[in-house]
Amino acid sequence: MIELQDVSMRIIIIIVGTIGFAAFGIIFGLFYKGIDRKLAAHMQGRIGPPLRQPFRDVVKLFTKENIVPENAIPWVFNLAPIMGLVGAISILLYLPIVPQTDGGLGPLVSVGGDLLLILYLLMIPSLAMVIGGFSSGSPYATVGAQREMATMIAYEFPLAIIIISIAWRLSIEGNANVFALTTISSTAPVWSVAGPLGFIGFAILLLVLIIVTPAELSKIPFDSPEAETEIAGGLLTEYSGRNLAMFYLTDGVKTVVMASLIVALFFPYNLSNLSILGLESGSYLAFAVDIIFYLVKIFLVIVFSVTLIRVAIARLKIDQIVYTYWVPLTLLALVGLICIMWDPETMAQFGLPRVVEWLGFV
């Protein structure tokens, strides 16, 4: 009976937590989109829309007529936006907001391979757009869907190298669940196990992940699947009304997801730990300070990984996008991995003979 009550309570917590994380991702996703548009406008010498404009856009879209093209497959066309939004929200459930060692808010659900699962879940919103584009019957959307698939194939390789590099380094420290975000954010942050050369390696991986982020979000300069000047909006050409609103919400939630992933991997630190603040660990005030600090970290990540890049660089062609991720960024990620492998701290844990043996040279 007690076990049944525990299971029921756990189910209730997951349901309520999912609703809370969904609201959090949508609200702050739209808020950060407003900040991004405002900052980009000021960088380009424009006034820009008000910060609340994304909220207005979503409300307006939900009141508009939802048009399904004559040549579309209706049930697939209408299901794709829902699938994309659910996929983006699902990732939030696996991301720690505040490291648990400090009495913070850990992931709502967690498994031994959080990072591997997140890699798969990150593809769902993009696949939803691809499926929606193909099902719309529009030639523009079909071209956009083909470009989106090529872009996904391109950036997944350096992204996988980043995840594997971090997990491999933590495995040397004797951590059991090296693919669990709670291990990285609470037990062994990457900077704490790095020597001078390893620090450079992790910095390189961070740079690569920052450049991967705009492609994950289909932002300039990697937005060729939606290039308005070439293919009239591409994937989203035929979408309108609530379907377009859900894709808009998906983009906002995924922005929070990518920024939170970067924070969880490379900056899992709390402000309440500073003795100068005099905050009691686990108190409500300390928790509030850490949440605010987390939101600030997300804002800074979005500025550097989205706003600055799309303002500074013009749109790339699809062949340039694929080349950029398959050659320069993949090689750069491999350089980061090599720096981590040959870091003195790594050598002290692993030993030179074993490193050579692991590489297959002996």
pLDDT band at 60 (very low <50, low <70, confident <90, very high): very high
The count of C-alpha atoms lying within 13 angstroms of the C-alpha of 350, restricted to the half-sphere facing its C-beta, is: 23
Distance (Å, whole) CA 147 – CA 317: 10
Q: Quick check: 136 and 127 in contact, CB under 8 A?
A: no
Residue 123 CA, chain-centre distance (Å), reads 11
Report pLDDT for 346.
Answer: 67
Distance (Å, whole) CA 284 – CA 237: 47
pLDDT band at 348 (very low <50, low <70, confident <90, very high): low
Which two three-digit tokens encode residue 84? 């994309």
The count of C-alpha atoms lying within 13 angstroms of the C-alpha of 184, restricted to the half-sphere facing its C-beta, is: 31
Report pLDDT for 280.
Answer: 60
Report pLDDT for 209.
Answer: 93
For residue 2, pLDDT beyond 60: no
Q: Quick check: 134 and 233 in contact, CB under 8 A?
A: no
Distance (Å, whole) CA 135 – CA 58: 23
Residue with tokens 């997801």: 257
Mean pLDDT within 209-224:
85
Residue with tokens 């720690």: 96
Mean pLDDT within 33-53:
89
Considering only residues 309 and 229, tell me which one the structure prediction assigns the higher pLDDT: 309
pLDDT digits (tens, 9 = 90+) for 114-166: 788 888 888 888 888 888 888 887 888 888 888 888 888 888 889 889 988 88
Residue 41 CA, chain-centre distance (Å), reads 24
Mean pLDDT within 84-92:
90
Rounded to two decimals, what is the model's pTM?
A: 0.86
Report pLDDT for 293.
Answer: 86
For residue 318, give the nearest of 127, 156, 153 by alpha carbon: 153
- Give the CA dihedral 336, 342, 343, 345, nearest 10 degrees: 130
For residue 104, pLDDT beyond 70: no
Report pLDDT for 361.
Answer: 41
Q: Quick check: 157 and 322 in contact, CB under 8 A?
A: no
Considering only residues 288 and 5, tell me which one the structure prediction assigns the higher pLDDT: 288
Residue 353, preceding bond cis, omega within 30 degrees?
no
> In this structure, what are the phi and psi dihedrals at residue 72, rounded to the nearest 5 degrees?
-80, 165
pLDDT digits (tens, 9 = 90+) for 321-330: 888 898 899 9
Counting residues of the chain whose pLDDT is more than 70, the rounded percentage is 83
Distance (Å, whole) CA 259 – CA 257: 6
Counting residues of the chain whose pLDDT is more than 90, the rounded percentage is 17
Distance (Å, whole) CA 280 – CA 342: 40
pLDDT digits (tens, 9 = 90+) for 270-313: 776 665 565 666 667 777 778 888 899 999 999 998 888 888 88
Mean pLDDT, the chain, rounded, equals 81
Q: Quick check: 115 and 100 in contact, CB under 8 A?
A: no
Q: How far apart are the first and last CA of the chain?
A: 58
Q: Distances in Å between the alpha carbon of 208 and those of 159, 168, 340?
A: 8, 18, 15
- The answer for residues whose C-beta is within 8 angstroms of residue 274's C-beta and 6 or more apart is none
Domain residue ranges in the chain: 2-359
pLDDT band at 362 (very low <50, low <70, confident <90, very high): very low
